[in-house]
Amino acid sequence: MVDVVRTKRPALHKRTPAGGAPTAPRSADEARRADASEPRIDVAAVTELLLGTWAQARRQSREMITDEAFWQVPGQPVPEHRERVLGQLRRFVDAGASGRAYPVEYGGQNDNGGNLAAFEELVLADPSMQIKAGVQWGLFGSAIQQLGTKKHHDAWLADVRTLALPGAFAMTEMGHGSDVAAIGTTATYDPDTDEFVIHTPFRAATKEFLGNAALHGRAATVFAQLITGGVNYGVHCFFVPIRSDDGHDLPGITTEDDGVKGGLNGIDNGRISFDHVRIPRENLLNRYGDVDATGAYSSPIPSPGRRFFTMLGALVQGRVSLDGAATTGAALAEYIAITYANQRRQFDSGVGTEEVVLLDYGRHQRRLLPRLAQTYAQAFAHDQLLRRFDGVFGGERDTPDEREDLETLAAALKPLSTWNALDTIQECREACGGAGFMAENRLVGLHHDLDVYATFEGDNNILLQLVGKRLLSDFAKQFTGKDAAALARYAVGQTAERIFHGAGLRRLGQAVADFGSTARSVELGLRAEQQHELLAGRVEQMVTDVASALRPASSLPPAEAAALFNQHQSELIEAARAHGELLQWEAFAEGVAGIEDAGTRQVLTWLRDLFGLWLIEKHLAWYLIGGRLSSQRAASVTRYIDRLCARLRPHAQDLVDAFGFAPEHVRAPIASGAEQQRQDEARAYYAELAASGAAPVSEKSLKKKVTKP
Amino acid sequence: MVDVVRTKRPALHKRTPAGGAPTAPRSADEARRADASEPRIDVAAVTELLLGTWAQARRQSREMITDEAFWQVPGQPVPEHRERVLGQLRRFVDAGASGRAYPVEYGGQNDNGGNLAAFEELVLADPSMQIKAGVQWGLFGSAIQQLGTKKHHDAWLADVRTLALPGAFAMTEMGHGSDVAAIGTTATYDPDTDEFVIHTPFRAATKEFLGNAALHGRAATVFAQLITGGVNYGVHCFFVPIRSDDGHDLPGITTEDDGVKGGLNGIDNGRISFDHVRIPRENLLNRYGDVDATGAYSSPIPSPGRRFFTMLGALVQGRVSLDGAATTGAALAEYIAITYANQRRQFDSGVGTEEVVLLDYGRHQRRLLPRLAQTYAQAFAHDQLLRRFDGVFGGERDTPDEREDLETLAAALKPLSTWNALDTIQECREACGGAGFMAENRLVGLHHDLDVYATFEGDNNILLQLVGKRLLSDFAKQFTGKDAAALARYAVGQTAERIFHGAGLRRLGQAVADFGSTARSVELGLRAEQQHELLAGRVEQMVTDVASALRPASSLPPAEAAALFNQHQSELIEAARAHGELLQWEAFAEGVAGIEDAGTRQVLTWLRDLFGLWLIEKHLAWYLIGGRLSSQRAASVTRYIDRLCARLRPHAQDLVDAFGFAPEHVRAPIASGAEQQRQDEARAYYAELAASGAAPVSEKSLKKKVTKP
């Protein structure tokens, strides 16, 4: 594999039409590709655009992982994989790359956005390494940083950064994952000794699925019900040592190993239970709630509910980073599948003997190109999310409203991008046939590792339900007593325009007009503005519909109100998904609107259109039922997508090259040019055989000769 | 894990309403479930129905694999896993279970249907074992049996059966998978020595992805271009020894190891290349083509094309068995996810403190129940496919037409069931949250192993395209010169009524009428007959549309004709998919029509309706655009599905219990009752705490006391 990786990527199907070998007749598509030499994208400029606001941090991280010590070894047994990943984290520290978000006094750089950007790129090396780094610095460390105060930072943050203190983040329990408020672990204050007693009262309260718990963790940030003076003040976080330096469980601590998982097997996930474990009172991470020596509780946030959500919200970066990592993973899959599809040939077209390149098949374009458009949309949307995150956590825009918006945005985007990544990786794997199933070609490993992204850091369905509830509550809050039309318009204000920054659409409308003369009639009515109207209108209508359906709930007995909500749960989740899709589309549109190079803007506008039309096609029945699209226009959506696929096909390689991956990031032999080499060799063999006169004739041609003398 | 497995499954949520523990208040749903005590399904009878025509063979196979020696060990390193699976095959032989389809004189039972039925069940033990058995007895052995003649059977079949002769099936090459006709390996007859010379002329002609090639195979059935007297007679199959008994490559043979794969790592897939390897002329498997000592070629099938497809068709059993194995895999996933969803609780409903069972959430029902309906449909459709297969290969109905129908049916069903299995397993895995990601709970392993089913034994898209072409060619053949309406009606005759056996629908109509009085108004117009009409009408219309669009092709130059076809490739594949869906629905309907027990028939009728409506919902936009459903009726489809989910919810456990899996087949701790035990323990803890008077009060209740004195 290393040999392949070290080989320079051949510039096949890039810039120049392929099939330069004299024996290869140009296919119809190759001719079309040559004709389509304008417009072209400026690959380097698009790479910059995709790398986004923290391009430099991403480049540094990518540069670091060109070292093969950071690469996943497919099939490595679990114990060795775990050790390898731990070693990778040490290298990461040695490279000075850890704890970038921490304050300067603890060796950090106070760089929140850059920290996540750099961290997300690690998925290219080994997602286990990315997530183990996330556990150490993003969860365990962040709990100390975000929920603790200076005494805690002073005590532990430098050691967390250098991995002198590896730790676990002990929130989830066997019995409670999504419903954190209901966890069973207790932290009971004992004023006699000035200690908290951490206890697991029953098996279901065992902390579960924790990275670093099975082997490497020395301490854990443990979420438990804080009880003092006979009162339960709800979930708080405590710093609890769990293991001695020689790796033994401390007294009262029992750790267990989760064993083999569906992926991420470089991480030692495990369970922790506590048998009346005593920790100093000072180990309560007391930023949002404290207990004094007498046992009196105090908090800067009087409302228990708001306090709880504030604490959880302080840990939003996990969701933010998964949105980015999933997007990078999907981009890698697209790079591999499209590069292969541009080289691999199968079946002749019935015209001559030349076999057809996979990407010239209509079906193959349909499978890969809309998902490529989606990956672009995610990249743009993620950069917006990251800017918002950096604004809040860097302190520049740290208001309760901004925090709530950030949490909602992360909860809307993470489900979409993690699901999309799985869908895209699987489609890419299948599009590469048997070769796609070989571990060396990366696609199966990506799917295995990213699988759990859909349910961790918040189950995707639960997150979307949160978003839906936020949409509903804002809806209800702001428009009490107003009329239905005002209500209906609200959702768009909430979801769309705030992110879209108003001017975007107008600039974009202009851009569309510039290229209007080349548009075919079928595309009229499905341009940028209409796409936006359709996508935004859907959010607006769905939120209104659910809100209307739930309106009687307030006057119903609780059981019936719960049943009514349950009846509309799926619709609410779909409304939240529509909201996320709209945000992604808008981010893409905004990204395109800022492009100055005409060729790049043209091609990315097509790609944005493909994304928009693909979303509309997914929900076509909804648009038809609601009368928002006529049958005729709806039918044209699919044709328009086909046309956009054909139009984008010559640009497909440019568009994946623009992800900017080096061979050391890709590593898949099928995307290395080896396929092309084999085909050239086969072609040369047949050409030589034909020239030698020794080639066998086909039975068919013989029969023709016999029957037609 | 073994302990868990050996424990008897608790009869939770079965027959009697759950929550019998005195501390557990009955939830609204539990009350509903109790009320829904009629109708109930007869679980044992449904098990019999699902096990199908070869129930006995399936039971034998399931009984055998209760032995833990047959079970997959998650995370086992690749070399050990390969040895374990080889050992499992030996046990399989010792149990007398191998080669059931072979003639009695070679130790077989001449039982084609039973052979596949038994083989499919092995997926419950370890899909690697299933597929390695399939390579040995189903591919390598079948090539000898189906493509060879008595001399070959006498020489090798008994040893194949006993595993004395392990072998590889060498069809696919690095350069050609789906397009078998274009393979590069040559078999050139040398009359001087009466031998064939097997040769790999270039790297891309290397045989690739072959089970048993990396380690265990001693011989291979090698597909190569048969060349004699300077004429290429096309692809034929040859028996070629590849390895000595001590495991070394024979002279001229080079084998390579494919290494780690995305799944099925108990199989030693690898590559084989040939450097002028000489084999006796008699090693040509000569049922469909022979060469005499002078080098003269002869064949009972004069047309090279028909001969090629006859040879490939003789190997259809691989596709047939994957359809069954994928269905069994999906059923296991549904069993695990639904059993867990009936025990796992998360979030209280806002009514009291009792948390809600996952399957009581509307969203969770939506995720699992339509896929359960689909799995049932596949089971019924698969039994029909298996009966057809047995009829052809048992000789009872072995005509060219029956063979062609069998191949088309297998090509239509295998893509749907293998894709559906992946979708179902993934949804089940996510529905189990983090626990679903643990290897011990089986779901991730099933996904990894079954992933490749979508692209092997025929890439799913290619298979559907074959089906589409068959539909088109029959369409064109039978109706030349007739009018459009007659053309349009054709497709249904082809796809539907032949399988449906006419009477089915009428009997079914009757069944629906029996229950008519309970139907709600929304369901009118979406009953069985309308479902059939909608599904069949879709196939009819889509085939007609593609045929019309392609009609100009015959008068176009080849390049333009190819481009035209390419434009409609996706539509053709979608038409074939619609055809497969119709067949599954019809098989389900036919299965239901034969049920006499009223409760069982009622519940399975709902389930069949859910499947039908779910298919219609997937393609709702198509029905709306074509005016086949009004907006109003289309909107009611989704509501009807929701209603059916609620109606079926109390029967969900019965419906998965009816798959008839023993604990040794399930093995997943989350479906063992352990979750329920943990919850009972937690509940008892809180009850005891409350009774003791030592329970802390909540801060919230404290605040209420303060503000409301």
Dist CA B354 CA A652 (whole Å): 54
Q: Are B544 and B579 contacting, i.e. CB atoms less than 8 angstroms apart? A: no
CATH superfamily of A454-657: Butyryl-CoA Dehydrogenase, subunit A, domain 3 (1.20.140.10)
Interchain proximity A454–B624, CB inside 8 Å: no
pLDDT of residue A184: 97
Q: How far is A434 from chain B (nearest CA, A)?
A: 7
Q: Do B437 and A261 touch (CB under 8 A)?
A: yes
How many angstroms away from the CA of A651 is the closest CA of chain B?
Answer: 19
Cβ contact, residue pair B262, A443, below 8 Å? yes
Contacts of B340 in chain A (CB under 8 A): none
Q: At what angle do helices B699-707 and A304-313 cross, to 10 degrees?
A: 140
Tell me if B698 and A231 make a contact (CB, 8 A cut-off).
Answer: yes
**Residue A174 to chain B, least CA–CA distance (Å):** 9
Instruction: State pLDDT tens for residues A366-389.
Output: 999 999 999 999 999 999 999 999
| Inter-chain CB proximity A178 and B348 less than 8 Å | no
User: SS3 letters for A14-69?
Assistant: CCCCCCCCCCCCCCHHHHHHHHCCCCCCCHHHHHHHHHCCCHHHHHHHHHHCCCHH
Q: What Rg value do the Cα atoms of chain B yield, rounded?
A: 28
Mutate to test the interface with B, among A197, A200, A363 (most CBs of B within 10 A): A363
CA distance A50 to A378: 10
CA distances from B434 to A148, A457, A624, B461 (A): 28, 10, 38, 32
What CA–CA distance (Å, rounded) separates B467 from B578? 11
Which range (A515-519, B359-363, B374-378) has the least confidence?
A515-519
Instruction: Give the distance from residue A630's alpha carbon to the nearest chain B alpha carbon, in angstroms.
Output: 8
Pairing of strands B277-280, B195-199: antiparallel
C-alpha–C-alpha distance, residues A183 and A638, integer Å: 48
Same fold, A169-303 and A454-657: no
Least confident of A298-307, B13-22, B215-224: B13-22
**How many angstroms separate the CA atoms of B233 and B299, rounded?**
10
CA distances from A465 to A178, A576, B384, B431 (A): 12, 7, 42, 15
Q: Which among B247, B271, B275, B244 is positioned nearest to B257, based on CA atoms? A: B271
- Does the pLDDT at position B700 exceed 70? yes
Chain B residues with beta carbon closer than 8 angstroms to that of A438: 258-262
A-chain CB neighbours of B131 within 8 Å are none
Q: For residue A702, name the pLDDT band (cuts at 50, 70, 90).
A: confident
Residue count of chain A:
709
Q: Do A685 and B422 touch (CB under 8 A)?
A: no
- Which site among B128, B299, B624, B681 would you substitute to test the A interface, given the most A Cβ atoms closer than 10 Å to its Cβ? B624
For residue A349, the distance in angstroms to the closest alpha carbon of chain B comes to 6
Q: How far is A199 from chain B (nearest CA, A)?
A: 13
The residue among B13, B5, B48, B63 whose CA lies nearest residue B33 is B13
Which residues of chain B lie closer than 8 angstroms to A172, CB-CB?
434
**B682–A634: do the CB atoms touch at under 8 Å?**
no
- Determine the pLDDT at residue B447: 98
Residues of A in contact with B176 (CB under 8 A): 346
The residue with greater pLDDT, B507 or A215, is: A215
Q: How far apart are CA B597 and CA B599, in angstroms?
A: 6
Domain B169-313 has CATH 1.10.3720.10: no
Break chain B down into helix, strand, coil percent, rounded to 5: 60, 10, 30
Q: What is the model's pLDDT at position B493?
A: 47
What 3-state class would DSSP assign to B474?
Answer: helix
Q: pLDDT tens across B296-321, in order? A: 999 999 999 999 999 999 889 999 99
Higher pLDDT, B542 or B351: B542
- A679 neighbourhood in chain B, CB within 8 Å: 175, 204
Judged against a pLDDT cut of 50, whether residue A31 lies above it is answered with no
Mean pLDDT of B678-700: 94
Q: Which helix (H) or strand (E) holds B695?
A: none
By percentage, how much of chain A surpasses pLDDT 90? 81
Does B443 sit within 8 Å of A452, measured CB to CB? no
- Per mean pLDDT, which range of A104-113, A348-357, B649-658 is the poorest? A348-357
The answer on pLDDT for B468 being more than 60 is yes
Please name the member of A567, A617, A696 whose beta carbon is closest to the beta carbon of B232. Answer: A696
Contact A260 B439 (CB under 8 A): yes
Place of tokens 């040509």: B284
Q: How far is it between the farthest Cα atoms of chain A?
A: 111
What is the rounded CA–CA span in Å between residue A205 and residue B513?
52
Q: Of A176, A234, A681, which is closest to B203 when you measure between CB atoms? A: A681
Closest CA to B383 of B326, B323, B464: B323
What gap in Å lies between CA B179 and CA A224, rounded to an integer?
60
User: Residue A705: its pLDDT value, please?
Assistant: 62
CB B201, CB B127: distance < 8 Å: no
Measure CB to CB from residue B635 to each of A178, A437, A625 and give the nearest one: A625
Prior bond of B39 cis (ω within 30°): yes
- Report residue A552's pLDDT band, with 50, 70 and 90 as the boundaries: confident
Query: For chain A, what are the domain ranges?
Result: 169-303, 454-657
Q: Phi, psi (5° rounding) for residue B168? A: -110, 155
Instruction: Say which amino acid occupies B667.
Output: R
State how far residue A361 is from chain B, nearest Cα, in angstroms.
6
Q: Which of B78, B360, B569 sits opposite A361 (nearest CB)?
A: B569
Q: Which residues of A touch B226 (CB under 8 A)?
A: none
Q: How confident is the model at residue B320, as a pLDDT?
A: 97
Antiparallel, parallel or unpaired: β B290-291 and B297-298? antiparallel
Q: What is the pLDDT of residues B542-598, one digit of tens each?
A: 999 999 899 888 889 988 999 999 999 999 999 999 999 999 999 999 999 999 999
Superfamily of domain B477-654: Butyryl-CoA Dehydrogenase, subunit A, domain 3 (1.20.140.10)
Partner-chain contact B347 A172, CB within 8 Å: no
Which two three-digit tokens encode residue A392?
Answer: 């809040």
Which residue type, as a one-letter code, is found at position B466? L
Whether B467 has a pLDDT exceeding 60, the answer reads yes
Interface test with A, best of B1, B452, B632 (most A CBs within 10 A): B452
Interface contact B74-A260, CB threshold 8 A: yes
User: Identity (one letter) of the amino acid at B112?
Assistant: N
CATH no., domain A169-303: 2.40.110.10
Q: CA distances (Å), A251 to each of A219, A243, A275, B353, B654, in order?
A: 13, 9, 8, 34, 46
> Does the beta-carbon distance from B570 to A175 stay under 8 Å?
no
Q: Smallest CA–CA separation between B80 and chain A, in Å?
A: 11
Quick one: closest CA in A to B626, which residue? A631
Count of A-B CB contacts under 8 Å = 292
pLDDT band of residue B705 (cuts 50, 70, 90) is: low
How high does pLDDT run on average in chain A? 89
Share of chain A above pLDDT 70, in %: 87
With an 8 Å Cβ cutoff, are A205 and B682 in contact? yes
Which residues of B fall within a CB distance of 8 Å from A549? none
Distances (CA, A) of A641 to A331, A367, A534, A631, B566: 21, 12, 16, 16, 15
Complex ipTM: 0.91
Contact B363 A459 (CB under 8 A): no
A94 to chain B, closest Cα gap in Å: 31
pLDDT score of A647 more than 80: yes
**Cβ-based neighbours of B551, under 8 Å, separated by 6 or more:** none
The DSSP secondary-structure symbol of A154 reads I
Nearest residue on chain B to A367, alpha-carbon basis? B570
Q: Residues B249-254: what's their mean pLDDT?
A: 98
User: Please, which contacts does A658-661 make with residues 24 or more away whose CB atoms are closer than 8 Å?
Assistant: A658/A41, A658/A43, A658/A46, A658/A47, A658/A50, A659/A47, A659/A50, A659/A331, A659/A332, A659/A334, A659/A335, A660/A47, A660/A50, A660/A51, A660/A62, A661/A62, A661/A124, A661/A331, A661/A332, A661/A335
Contact list in B for residue A567 (CB cut-off 8 A) is 362, 642
Predicted confidence at residue A701, as pLDDT, reads 84
The nearest alpha carbon in chain B to A622 belongs to B621
In Å, how far is A178's CA from the nearest CA of chain B? 8
Among A234, A569, A617, beta carbon nearest to B699: A234
Q: Say if residues B658 and B51 touch (Cβ distance below 8 Å).
A: no
Phi-psi category of residue B424: left, alpha or beta, with phi > 0 → left and psi -120 to 50 → alpha = alpha
pLDDT at B297 (0 to 100): 98
Tell me how close the Cα of A431 comes to any Cα of chain B, in angstroms.
Answer: 9
Q: pLDDT band for B489, please (50, 70, 90 cuts).
A: low
Judged by CB atoms closer than 8 Å, whether chains meet at B347 and A447 is answered as no
Q: Quick check: B472 and B494 in contact, CB under 8 A?
A: no
**B78-to-A75, A77, B145, B453 alpha-carbon distances in Å:** 7, 8, 31, 20
pTM: 0.91
Say if residues B589 and B484 touch (Cβ distance below 8 Å): no
Least confident of A664-678, B445-459, B625-639: B625-639
At B509 the pLDDT is 34
Q: Residue B387 above 50 pLDDT?
A: yes
- A437 neighbourhood in chain B, CB within 8 Å: 261-263, 451-452, 455
C-alpha span between A304 and A311 (Å, rounded): 11
Q: Which long-range contacts (CB under 8 A, 24 or more apart) does A517-521 make?
A: A520/A643
Rg (CA), chain A: 28
Distance CA B458, CA B372 (A): 26
Q: What are A220's strand-pairing partners?
A: A168, A240
| Tokens found for residue B306 | 């028909």
pLDDT in tens, B209-238: 999 999 999 999 999 999 999 999 999 999
pLDDT exceeds 50 at position B273: yes
Give residue-wise pLDDT tens across range A456-510: 999 999 999 999 999 998 777 766 655 555 555 544 444 433 333 222 223 333 2
B78 chain-A contacts, CB cut-off 8 A: 75
For residues B468 and B573, the answer to whether their CB atoms sit within 8 Å is yes
| Rounded distance between C-alpha atoms, residue B451 and residue B462, angstroms | 16
> What per-residue confidence (pLDDT) applies to A348?
84
- How many of the other CB atoms lie within 10 Å of CB of A402? 14
**Do B346 and A437 make contact, defined as CB atoms within 8 angstroms?**
no
Does the pLDDT value for residue A586 go beyond 90?
yes
Among partner residues A262, A440, A626, which is closest to B439 by beta-carbon distance? A262
| Bond prior to A39 in cis (omega within 30° of 0) | yes
Which among A175, A260, A625 has the least Cβ separation from residue B75? A260
pLDDT at A354: 82
Quick one: pLDDT band at residue A678, thresholds 50, 70, 90? very high
Q: Give the model's pLDDT for residue A52.
A: 98
Look up residue A538 and give its two tokens.
Answer: 């859907």
Residues from chain A contacting residue B346 (CB–CB below 8 Å): 176-179
